[in-house]
Structure 1
Amino acid sequence: MKYKDHSCLLLIGIWLSLLFFNCTDEEQAWTFKSEEINFRLEKVADSIRVPFGISFLPNGKMLVTNRFAGEILLVDIDSGEKKMLKGVPKSYCKGDGGALDILPHPKYEQNGWLYFSHSIGDSISSSMSIERGKLKGDSLINVERIFTAYPFYESPSHYGSRMVLKDGYLFFTMGDRYDLKDSAQTLNNHLGKVMRIFEDGQIPKDNPFVDTKNAKPEIWSFGHRNPQGLTLHPKTNALWLHEHGPKGGDELNLVKPGLNYGWPIICHGIDYDDTPIGEGITHKEGMEQPIHHYTPSIAPSGMEFYHGNAFKEWNGNVFIGAMAKTHLNRLVFKNGKVVHEERLLESFGRRIRAVKQGPDGLIYIGVDGGMILRLRPI
């Protein structure tokens, strides 16, 4: 081999060494293999204690709710710089409460509306409400409350809450408040329900229980426990939901108007003291079965059907954050049924709280502790 060839090889070796050793140990560790795609994690932002909600604005910025502190943060995706929005309504930040979901209107560039769900009240009496407002600089202005869930209750648990805007309607979830689980089966309250209202807060006249005596007219479906995932299928536009089970029995459901999803009469899990829920039955006539359920529980939070170009092999798959089992859950569908499950990022060991597809086609996740990260194919 000629001398100059040795020199070239030496220079290449030095360059590769510098490239490798300039990477931190953490960055080297953040590469992963899936069954179909190798990918890496990239840190977008950090120091967000409980990043519950993630959404994207047309200007390339990201909105993130910090449930723990009741904050909405404006995040620069490129630099990771964060600004806490001013004018955000005060949240009750105990237990499961605080700042919850955040959602820009599909026509945000025309009307500027942002939707924000959070827990309200105090240690004596609390509930969940939805506000909408407009962003001016780093302030939320023209804020108006368009929904409040009833009844109020002292427990700081199971507020839901995820939102979806579709065809002028706002769909959103409310939990059963833990101690009031039987309320999920009665229509005179908002607990353990999916609701549908117009985007300005008015009630559609064709909601399934508008004409039912003593029923809350906002109710779309009932018999849910604590739904913390809500999304639309990108092709069918169908509404999908997942909800926490107790000890086992987390559910993935296709939500249709007026249907009863069974909680707490039917359940695929057991109570935390290992006793049955109710009669311990899993099926009953007139109550819907989940499309998929998890036992033991994964403690699901956040959900997104992937439909981008970055991960073409994953198109049509649903991604769900898992907190108890600390992974990103990937489900493959065929003819409306789950035919395969893969658990990504298990070795990463973080509670994944939020999952969202970005406008760049990448998958963004929020992890307790707390960081915003994105998955990028290698």
Structure 2
Amino acid sequence: MSGSLALALMLVVNNSALAQVEVVDKPPSASGWRAETVAEGLPQPWGMTWLPDGRLLVTGKEGSLHLVEGKRVQPVALEGLPTLFTGGQGGLLDIAVHPADKTNPRVYMTMASGSDSENRTVLVQGVFDGKRVHSVKTLFSVTPGKSGGQHFGSRLAWMPDGTLLMSIGDGGNPPQRVGSMLAREQAQNLGSHHGSILRLTAEGKPAPGNPLASQKGALPEIWSYGHRNIQGLAVDPKTGRVWASEHGPRGGDEINLVEAGKNYGWPLQSYGLDYKTREPVGTKVVPGMVQPLVVWSPSPAPSGLVVYSGKAFPQWQGSLFSGSLAGEDIRRVALDAQGKVTKQERLPIGKRVRDVRQGPDGQLYVLTDESRGSLLRIVPQ
């Protein structure tokens, strides 16, 4: 363990006087809904975004991009993509369209680039001309590089001010190392992008006003840190609050309300267990580190995340919807006006859920994580 982490652990006080989060197993099932199939045959889908004309772009982990129009699914050419690494959890990952573009929109994608021995999460941008995404260029690359196929992140979410949030995983589980540190210790290293949420301009530069930009040794792109592997990221269009769903280790998956400059604890603060030793990773409460709003154990393996504002289910408005891979469901987390959790329930899907988004029609859409995945829509029963 690095000296800085050992020192931080020495500063942990008696946790008995501090509040812990109640860990939830499997919430009760929700009623009054059903899932209908919109389209099928999507190769290993990972992320989705709507174009200004209402059509849908879906990334495939192995490097494909598809356009969904009604039930029709057709491939979209990607011209100029960097070297794609598809080992383990790597591949072509999330996708977002610049919200200001109405024609020839700029398309942003995250991906793992490199080889098994040297890879990193990168952000690329291209232009969609109606048939293809061309002029793809790399806007941002994570530093330092790493090896192996674990914990790339990586979700994208636009902020109301036009800046872009991008989540970066910690790099992997022990014994995986990044430089002289265990990979997971990078989440407390402000000289590394690993284990953080970044805030970037539309050109991939550090966004003005980032909270740690003036701190010596801190990378200027970092917006929050102490994260393990965020695979759900959502900005509430009404309140501006930023929410993230995060993979813990064995048990201890989280939903966090994320704020600029805050430390979310990993790996010093955690509700999970080490995969090999079955011992707790860190402690459940560390002073000065932000507690999660939700903790799930056993781990459902959270995926895409969205704040619902549609009209089909008025009783669900303002709730978070988090997909889950291992849980094969969608978790609804009801919130009050202050952002506190009031209720949880689940929508059993029966398949691994990779992404959950709200479409321009106000409906909830779901991608299933399969070699030939499906696009589902949640509608009233």
**TM > 0.5:** yes
* Residue 362 (str. 1) matches residue 363 (str. 2): yes
Cα-to-partner distance string for 1:157-189 (whole Å, 9 max, x where unaligned): 100000111212111100001130000001111
1:319 and 1:355 in contact (8 A); partners too = yes
Structure (1/2) with the larger helix percentage? 1
User: Residue 323 of structure 1 corresponds to which residue in structure 2?
Assistant: 325
2:155 and 2:230 in contact (8 A); partners too = yes
One of 150, 155, 158 as aligned partner of 2:148: 155
User: Residue 17 of structure 2 corresponds to which residue in structure 1?
Assistant: none
Structure 2 spans left out of the alignment, 5+ residues = 1-27, 177-182
Cα-to-partner distance string for 1:312-337 (whole Å, 9 max, x where unaligned): 12111111101111111111112321
User: Residue 190 of structure 1 corresponds to which residue in structure 2?
Assistant: 193
1:52-71 correspondence to structure 2 within 5 Å: 52-67=46-61, 69-71=62-64
* Residue 137 (str. 1) matches residue 130 (str. 2): yes
Is the deviation greater in 137-146 or in 122-131? 137-146
2:90 and 2:152 in contact (8 A); partners too = yes
User: Residue 292 of structure 2 corresponds to which residue in structure 1?
Assistant: 290
Deviation at 1:88, TM superposition (A): 5.5
Between the aligned partners of 2:76 and 2:126, the Cα distance in structure 1 is: 15
1:253 and 1:291 in contact (8 A); partners too = yes
Deviation at 1:341, TM superposition (A): 0.9
In structure 2, relative to structure 1, the CA distance for the partners of 1:317 and 1:88 (3 Å cut) is: farther
User: Residue 139 of structure 2 corresponds to which residue in structure 1?
Assistant: 146
Match of 1:181, SS?
Answer: helix
> TM-score when scaled to structure 2?
0.86
1:186-225 correspondence to structure 2 within 5 Å: 186-225=189-228
One of 226, 238, 262 as aligned partner of 2:265: 262
Between the aligned partners of 1:233 and 1:306, the Cα distance in structure 2 is: 9
User: Residue 20 of structure 1 corresponds to which residue in structure 2?
Assistant: none
One of 215, 236, 240 as aligned partner of 1:237: 240
Between the aligned partners of 1:303 and 1:329, the Cα distance in structure 2 is: 9
User: Residue 168 of structure 1 corresponds to which residue in structure 2?
Assistant: 162
Between the aligned partners of 1:272 and 1:189, the Cα distance in structure 2 is: 24
Deviation at 1:262, TM superposition (A): 0.3
Question: How large is the RMSD of aligned CA atoms in angstroms?
Answer: 1.6
1:36 and 1:313 in contact (8 A); partners too = no
Match of 1:265, SS?
Answer: coil
Identity level (%): 38
* Structure 1 consecutive aligned stretches of length 4 or more whose deviation exceeds 6 Å: none
What one-letter code is carried by the residue in structure 2 that aligns with 1:66?
G
Between the aligned partners of 1:130 and 1:62, the Cα distance in structure 2 is: 20
Deviation at 1:144, TM superposition (A): 2.1
Deviation at 1:214, TM superposition (A): 2.1
What one-letter code is carried by the residue in structure 2 that aligns with 1:135?
F
What one-letter code is carried by the residue in structure 2 that aligns with 1:350?
K
Deviation at 1:260, TM superposition (A): 0.6
Deviation at 1:110, TM superposition (A): 5.3
User: Residue 3 of structure 2 corresponds to which residue in structure 1?
Assistant: none
* Residue 99 (str. 1) matches residue 79 (str. 2): no
1:74 and 1:85 in contact (8 A); partners too = no
In structure 2, relative to structure 1, the CA distance for the partners of 1:45 and 1:85 (3 Å cut) is: farther
2:232 and 2:304 in contact (8 A); partners too = yes
One of 37, 45, 53 as aligned partner of 1:43: 37
User: Residue 250 of structure 1 corresponds to which residue in structure 2?
Assistant: 253
Match of 1:183, SS?
Answer: helix
Match of 2:66, SS?
Answer: strand
Structure 1 spans left out of the alignment, 5+ residues = 1-32
Deviation at 1:111, TM superposition (A): 6.5
User: Residue 377 of structure 1 corresponds to which residue in structure 2?
Assistant: 380
Cα-to-partner distance string for 1:115-135 (whole Å, 9 max, x where unaligned): 111110011111110011111
Question: Greater RCO between the two (CA within 8 Å, min separation 6)?
Answer: 2
User: Residue 14 of structure 1 corresponds to which residue in structure 2?
Assistant: none
> TM-score when scaled to structure 1?
0.86
* Residue 80 (str. 1) matches residue 72 (str. 2): yes
What one-letter code is carried by the residue in structure 2 that aligns with 1:55?
T
2:356 and 2:365 in contact (8 A); partners too = yes
2:104 and 2:130 in contact (8 A); partners too = no
Deviation at 1:34, TM superposition (A): 6.1
Deviation at 1:377, TM superposition (A): 1.6
Is the deviation greater in 135-144 or in 96-105? 135-144
Match of 1:109, SS?
Answer: coil
Cα-to-partner distance string for 1:86-109 (whole Å, 9 max, x where unaligned): 316142111111111110111120
Match of 1:141, SS?
Answer: strand
Deviation at 1:285, TM superposition (A): 1.0
Match of 1:108, SS?
Answer: coil
Match of 2:251, SS?
Answer: coil
User: Residue 20 of structure 2 corresponds to which residue in structure 1?
Assistant: none
Deviation at 1:141, TM superposition (A): 1.7
Between the aligned partners of 2:187 and 2:208, the Cα distance in structure 1 is: 22
Between the aligned partners of 1:62 and 1:36, the Cα distance in structure 2 is: 28
Match of 1:271, SS?
Answer: coil
Between the aligned partners of 2:63 and 2:119, the Cα distance in structure 1 is: 14
| Aligned positions, number | 340
